[in-house]
């Protein structure tokens, strides 16, 4: 039986796994009991391993009235785009019966969901400075970046600009580039860029001058 004390954790958190092994038989004990778990470099675990408890009579044999247990810690590594989430790892116990014949291996798994810490979007909108006349085109440039405490990316990133009447995403024709790895996520080392051409409309006595418009970046954490 394998369990973990935190089913949800952040990058950098240390979680504690507990592995428990029992044995059912005609009353005889199991020998050479060990637990393999590829997540831990100190595996396989035996009665001589750190964090072991349960060999009540100290004979190195797993008796039917004993529960052997190991407690091991694991630190969730820094975020990696290729990481598997949730983290599912499996422990496999092996041993021999009283006659020295191999027992059927048994396994159990424990799962930890990595909860990414939310970051912060940043947006910078610029236009070529100067005075423009009615009917002229102006070019707006919008740049969006993302910062997060664990290095994870932002997803579903869009830019809304009501004054220009657009909602922009990575697939918009105005998207210039910036998704360097092509995964559709705004990574912390990327700057996504859109360029929009806007034609100053004909004069209207109710027009706002200067014309100030606001772009808003939206998205979700990883």
Digit-by-digit pLDDT tens for the chain (222 residues) are 999 999 999 999 999 999 999 999 999 999 999 999 999 999 999 999 999 999 999 999 999 999 999 999 999 998 888 889 999 999 999 999 999 999 999 999 999 999 988 899 999 999 887 667 787 888 999 999 999 998 999 999 999 998 888 999 999 999 999 999 999 999 999 999 999 998 887 888 787 788 888 999 999 987
For residue 131, the model assigns a pLDDT of 65
Length of the chain as a residue count: 222
Q: Where are the beta strands (DSSP E) in 76-153?
A: 87-96, 106-114, 120-127, 137-147
pTM exceeds 0.75: no
Task: Label the pairing between strands 106-114 and 8-9.
Answer: parallel
| Tokens read off for 197 | 């051409």
């Amino acid at each position: 039986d394998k369990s973990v004390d935190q089913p949800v954790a952040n990058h950098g958190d240390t979680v504690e796994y507990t592995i428990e092994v029992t044995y059912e038989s005609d009353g005889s004990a199991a020998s050479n009991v060990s637990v393999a778990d590829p997540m831990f470099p100190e595996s396989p675990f035996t009665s001589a391993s750190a964090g072991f408890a349960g060999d009540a009579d100290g004979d190195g044999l797993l008796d039917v009235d004993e529960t052997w247990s190991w407690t091991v810690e694991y630190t969730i590594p820094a975020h990696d785009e290729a990481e598997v989430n949730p983290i599912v790892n499996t422990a496999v116990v092996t041993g021999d019966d009283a006659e020295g014949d191999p027992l059927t291996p048994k396994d159990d798994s424990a799962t930890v969901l990595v909860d990414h810490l939310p970051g912060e979007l940043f947006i910078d909108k610029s236009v070529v400075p100067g005075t423009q006349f009615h009917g002229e085109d102006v070019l707006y440039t919008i740049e969006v970046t993302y910062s997060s405490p664990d290095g994870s990316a932002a997803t579903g990133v869009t830019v809304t600009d009501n004054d220009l009447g657009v909602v922009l995403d990575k697939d918009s024709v105005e998207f210039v580039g910036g998704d360097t790895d092509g995964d559709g996520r705004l990574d912390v080392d990327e700057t996504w860029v859109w360029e929009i051409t806007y034609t100053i409309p004909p004069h209207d006595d109710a027009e706002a001058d200067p014309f100030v418009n606001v772009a808003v970046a939206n998205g979700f954490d990883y």
